[in-house]
A and B are shown apart, each in its own frame.
Chain A
Amino acid sequence: MKNKHFLFSLIIVFLFGFKAGENKFFTTPKNWPKPIYDFSKNPLTEEKIELGRALFYDPILSADNTISCASCHSQYSAFTHIDHALSHGIGDSIGTRNSPVLMNLAWQKSFMWDGAINHLDMQALAPISHPDEMGEKIEHVTYKLQRSALYPSLFLKAFKDSVITGEITLKAIAQFMLTLVSANSKYDSVMSKQAVFTEQEQNGYQLFQKNCNSCHAEPLFTNGLFENNGLTVDATLNDFGRMKITQKSDDSLKFKVPTLRNIEFSYPYMHDGRLKKLGDVLKHYTSGIHQSKTLAKQLQNPIILSSNERVDIIAFLLTLSDKEFLFNPSFSYPKNIFNSTANK
């Protein structure tokens, strides 16, 4: 009888406990929107996430086996490249954009600063193939993985198949990236009434809601859209952003609105990393806006903030830091996996 009850509650949990496609490896934080990623096509499992994690940290993905995803996306900087304005690649090559933070990717419609990538599964292909990043080809990556000491058994465990294809390689990397959810900042505790803002943070929050929130919308701190935020064109890069993808002049100088979560640790800022400090960012929005045809309508009227108010907004932005995320051991370099082959 007891057994029956247990089975029944297990079925109930199975049917109602998790939303479609979600499981113990991924749950939507309270009051967050539904994820965009379709988990039913790539259901998360421990083995697949761990395989993806190994791939994320393994320079085998690059042409000369020197650069891994983590080279430009390190955990303690919210998975960006701290202190580097532009992304780096094999043979000391330098790209044209700031490497974006990686978090809450299940809620993202498109990827890259210009939205060139339409699905998280396909995202890894771009840095793998870019000559100034990993300079590889996915067909050669799968060839190297197939011949490695480590991966055939990991793929067999994860996908019940030891034939390594592009599809399952990309799906495994996506699985690891999907687990990178940051939703445990002080801001989140305040929202769930488990903490309170200081007076300064509270004032900053109100100013933020008045001046910043329409693009950096809560709870993800981005509306996922592309906007021109009034930066001048860097003549050495001539990057017009979204226009390259849509070929529409209306999209000139538009870049994806980035999340502000963990912004304390993800400097430098902007699509080309031109601003080093949060103070510089606030100054840009109050006195640095460059007028142009496609400027975001939210920025067409000047934002007026005193220096004290700017400091208060920064105090609020620091409440978006999520130490649990930045130091979560399940997101870090998987020593145990790599050591197991080193000993073989």
Chain B
Amino acid sequence: MNLRFTVILLLIICRVNISASQNDEVLTLQFNPIFGKEALVLSKSYFSKNNNDSIQIDVLRFYISDIELLLNGEIVWKELNSFHLVDASVISSLQINLISSSKPIFDKLKFNVGIDSITNVAGAMGGDLDPTKGMYWTWQSGYINFKLEGKSKVCNTRNNEFTFHLGGYKYPYNTLQSVFLNTNNSNELNIVINAEEMISKINLSKQNHIMSPSKEAVLLSNELTRIFSVQ
């Protein structure tokens, strides 16, 4: 059999496998980044009451992992190999399609923001976990769970930039966060992520960057559970 034919055949088989068959239920998680009450537009200037200053967000990028659906506190469905890189600048990444063989009945959605410790020590991974995605520290092993970058005049830095790269998987600097959201039993869930909620917790005139696992990274990561909500 010629090689080209084999490759094409393999591609067709793979394609059939990854797309949902007709009986599968598809549940869509749609992430909507906002700033306060407005939709978030990257590199646009917003006024932040808490910081009393105009702020722009240039990068909002994070991992969503271990997605589960719960009913009365029991897990009724769990995504396998559940790792998704969500990037406010990549529209397609804001939508996650969950595929289930039967229609799940649930009242709660759970996901982690970041990458668990086992995956952090498991060596080179592909897909959204590929180190070419820019979410892996090179000088010290470990995934960056959450990136928030932008500008604010109160930052006494080059170009008034702030840079928050939150990560760290080892005690006492474990930054992984679990988010639980009450939901209705719908096939499409709109999940709002409010960048202002996050930025308002930071005194930008004093703190303008975190770029390694640390106490500061843990403290700020704790805020991640509060910036997600279901619309």
Inter-chain contact B138/A142, CB cutoff 8 Å: no
The stretch among A47-55, A167-175, A296-304, A334-342 that forms the contact with chain B is A167-175
Number of interface residues of B (CB under 8 A): 21
Cβ of A129 under 8 Å from chain B: yes
Inter-chain contact B122/A119, CB cutoff 8 Å: yes
B139 CB contact (under 8 Å) in A116, A118, A121, A166:
A116
Report the number of A-B residue pairs with Cβ-Cβ less than 8 Å.
69
Interface residues of B in 129-148 (CB under 8 A from A): 129-134, 136, 138-142
Cβ of B73 under 8 Å from chain A: no
Cβ of A202 under 8 Å from chain B: no
Chain A residue at smallest Cβ distance from B131: A166
A166/B124 contact (C-beta < 8 A), A116-B141, A138-B131 known: yes
Inter-chain contact B122/A41, CB cutoff 8 Å: yes
Inter-chain contact B123/A116, CB cutoff 8 Å: no
The docked-state distance in angstroms from the alpha carbon of A38 to that of B125 is 14
Inter-chain contact A130/B124, CB cutoff 8 Å: no
Contacts of B138 in A (CB 8 A): 125-126, 128-130, 138
State how many angstroms separate the Cβ of A116 from the closest Cβ of chain B. Answer: 4
Inter-chain contact A165/B136, CB cutoff 8 Å: no
State how many angstroms separate the Cβ of A163 from the closest Cβ of chain B. Answer: 10
Contacts of B126 in A (CB 8 A): 165, 167-168
The docked-state distance in angstroms from the alpha carbon of A170 to that of B173 is 27
The docked-state distance in angstroms from the alpha carbon of A130 to that of B131 is 15
Contacts of A170 in B (CB 8 A): 124, 131
Interface residues of B in 173-188 (CB under 8 A from A): 173
Inter-chain contact A122/B214, CB cutoff 8 Å: no
Chain B residue at smallest Cβ distance from A172: B124
Cβ of B163 under 8 Å from chain A: no
Cβ of A215 under 8 Å from chain B: no
Task: Give per-residue flags for A226-239: 1 if the beta carbon is below 8 A from chain B beta carbons, else 0.
Answer: 00000000000000
Cβ of B120 under 8 Å from chain A: yes
Contacts of A120 in B (CB 8 A): 123
Contacts of B42 in A (CB 8 A): none
The docked-state distance in angstroms from the alpha carbon of A233 to that of B132 is 36
Inter-chain contact A171/B132, CB cutoff 8 Å: no
The docked-state distance in angstroms from the alpha carbon of A85 to that of B142 is 29
The docked-state distance in angstroms from the alpha carbon of A72 to that of B187 is 56
Cβ of B121 under 8 Å from chain A: yes
State how many angstroms separate the Cβ of A23 from the closest Cβ of chain B. Answer: 18
Inter-chain contact A125/B136, CB cutoff 8 Å: yes
Inter-chain contact B132/A166, CB cutoff 8 Å: yes
Inter-chain contact A122/B132, CB cutoff 8 Å: no
| Most chain A CB atoms below 10 A, which of B120, B123, B129, B130 | B123
Cβ of A245 under 8 Å from chain B: yes
Inter-chain contact A121/B123, CB cutoff 8 Å: yes
Cβ of A198 under 8 Å from chain B: no
Inter-chain contact A138/B123, CB cutoff 8 Å: no
The docked-state distance in angstroms from the alpha carbon of A174 to that of B130 is 15
| Most chain B CB atoms below 10 A, which of A116, A122, A126, A138 | A122
Inter-chain contact B141/A167, CB cutoff 8 Å: no
Inter-chain contact B130/A166, CB cutoff 8 Å: yes
State how many angstroms separate the Cβ of A310 from the closest Cβ of chain B. Answer: 38
Inter-chain contact A130/B139, CB cutoff 8 Å: yes
State how many angstroms separate the Cβ of B29 from the closest Cβ of chain A. Answer: 25
B124 CB contact (under 8 Å) in A126, A129, A171:
A171
Sample 24 A-B pairs with CB under 8 A, ordered by A number. Answer: A42-B123, A116-B139, A118-B141, A119-B124, A119-B141, A121-B123, A122-B124, A122-B131, A122-B136, A122-B141, A125-B131, A129-B139, A138-B131, A138-B138, A139-B133, A142-B132, A165-B126, A165-B130, A166-B131, A167-B125, A167-B126, A167-B129, A167-B131, A168-B126
| 8 closest residue pairs by CB, A with B | A121-B123, A129-B138, A166-B132, A121-B124, A118-B141, A167-B126, A139-B132, A170-B124
4 additional A-B pairs beyond A117-B140, A119-B124, beta carbons within 8 Å, are: A119-B121, A122-B123, A166-B131, A168-B124
Which B residues are within 8 Å of any A CB, using their own CB?
Answer: 120-126, 129-134, 136, 138-142, 173, 214
